[in-house]
Structure 1
Amino acid sequence: MVLIGMLDSPYVRRVAICLKVLGLPYEHQPLSVFSDFDIFRKINPAVKAPTLITDDGQVLMDSTLILVYLDELAAGAPRIMPGSSPARLHALCQTGFALAACEKTVQIVYERRLRPQEKQHQAWLDRVQVQLQGAWRQLEVSVREEAPDCLSVAGISIAVAWSFTQQMVPDALEAGDYPAVASLTALAEQQAAFIATRMAC
């Protein structure tokens, strides 16, 4: 398998970590959707990261769909998604808020870095920041009530999202307001799969 995309993307990084946790061999091609657009387009015409090229040459994209495929592929290995219904639903809820936090962080980054300052829409940025803070408040409550294993899909998603938010938009929220999330992330970032996939930005 070949994983295509830069590790500065939280979506690419969470797939890379899950591949390592599941013990699935893969090659990583760190192509950028910006600077490597034409090369990327030849592999995936949608130019979307992450892209996974399966062993039989199929193009699979969207980190959640990729992880569904990988979890089934590694059925004999320790699972990253709980099998029982209540635990699975809880993991899906936590993962959903983590992905929302990633999305809102990306939106802030794109607005600030890709749009000229005189054309930035502050009302839009304020709205997105409220959504970002809401996602993290919900996750803080959820992790305090029941922290996921840091090498589960929920734990990986939360930790990757928190590291990404802290690195890219540290001014968007008060880090001290989220001690449970920060503690989970600190533990996760000490794991071999996380160390091997450090953000490259």
Structure 2
Amino acid sequence: MKLVGMLDSPYVRRVAISLELYGVDFVHESLSVFSTYAEFSAINPVVKAPTLVLDDGTVLMDSSLILDYFESLAPTDKKLLPHNASARAKDLQLLGLALAACEKTVQIVYEQNLRPAEKLHEPWIDRVSGQLLAAYSLLEKHLAQPASEPLSQASLSIAVAWSFTQLKLPTVLRPEAFPNLQRHTRLLEQHPTFRKYPIE
């Protein structure tokens, strides 16, 4: 089984960490959707990271769809989402905020790095930055009460998202304004699985 994509993508990284926690045996192939486009395209013509090639050759893409597949296969003691419907809804709410933060970070990075400076659209950046702030503010409020079980799909994705935003947009959100996110992420980044798949 092969996971394709670079660990500077929060989507690739959350899949790598989750697969390790599920106990899935896989090989990570660090290909870029930019610098190794042709090589990536040969594996998945859509060139979407993460891409996961199953043992039978089936190609899965999109981190949430990949993880939904493995969550369904995981034994009870390795599942990363609650079975109870109410608890699951709460985790999915947090997961949605974490993924929204990833998405808004990517949009700002692409706007700043890929669009010519003379074509930057400041109202769009302001809007997306506001959405990013809203997502992390809600997560910060939730994390005021530390979770008893830190390694759920929601909690690990929150940490992956915050590390990604701090790496890519260090001046957009002041870390000292988010002490709960800082504490949560610092704790999880020390976990052996996070250390095995560090952000690139």
TM-score of the superposition, structure 2-length normalised?
Answer: 0.96
Alignment partners' CA distance in 2, 1:105 and 1:56: 34
Give 1:86 deviation, angstroms. Answer: 1.3
For 1:112, the equivalent position in structure 2 comes to 112
Structure 1 residues without counterparts, runs of 5 or longer: none
Residue 188 (str. 1) matches residue 188 (str. 2): yes
Residues 98-141 of structure 1: per-residue CA shift (max 9 Å, x gap): 00000000011111111121211111111110000000011111
Alignment partners' CA distance in 1, 2:122 and 2:12: 29
SS of residue paired to 1:144: coil
For 1:91, the equivalent position in structure 2 comes to 91
Give 1:36 deviation, angstroms. Answer: 1.1
Give 1:149 deviation, angstroms. Answer: 3.1
1:6 partner amino acid: M
Alignment partners' CA distance in 1, 2:189 and 2:72: 25
2:16 partner amino acid: A
For 1:160, the equivalent position in structure 2 comes to 160
Alignment partners' CA distance in 1, 2:183 and 2:171: 19
Give 1:170 deviation, angstroms. Answer: 1.2
Alignment partners' CA distance in 2, 1:154 and 1:148: 13
Aligned pairs, number: 200
Alignment partners' CA distance in 1, 2:120 and 2:157: 29
For 1:15, the equivalent position in structure 2 comes to 15
Q: CA contact under 8 A between 1:5 and 1:49: conserved in structure 2?
A: yes
Q: RMSD in angstroms over aligned alpha carbons?
A: 1.3
SS of residue paired to 1:170: coil
Alignment partners' CA distance in 2, 1:185 and 1:145: 14
For 2:70, the equivalent position in structure 1 comes to 70
Give 1:147 deviation, angstroms. Answer: 3.2
Alignment partners' CA distance in 2, 1:166 and 1:160: 10
Q: Percent same amino acid among aligned pairs?
A: 51
Residue 122 (str. 1) matches residue 85 (str. 2): no
SS of residue paired to 1:172: coil
Alignment partners' CA distance in 2, 1:100 and 1:148: 24
Give 1:55 deviation, angstroms. Answer: 1.5
Matches within 5 A, 1:172-187: 172-187=172-187
Give 1:75 deviation, angstroms. Answer: 2.3
Structure 2 residues without counterparts, runs of 5 or longer: none
Residue 44 (str. 1) matches residue 44 (str. 2): yes
Give 1:76 deviation, angstroms. Answer: 5.1
Alignment partners' CA distance in 2, 1:86 and 1:99: 20
Q: CA contact under 8 A between 1:148 and 1:154: conserved in structure 2?
A: no
Q: CA contact under 8 A between 1:91 and 1:148: conserved in structure 2?
A: no
1:154 partner amino acid: A
For 2:29, the equivalent position in structure 1 comes to 29
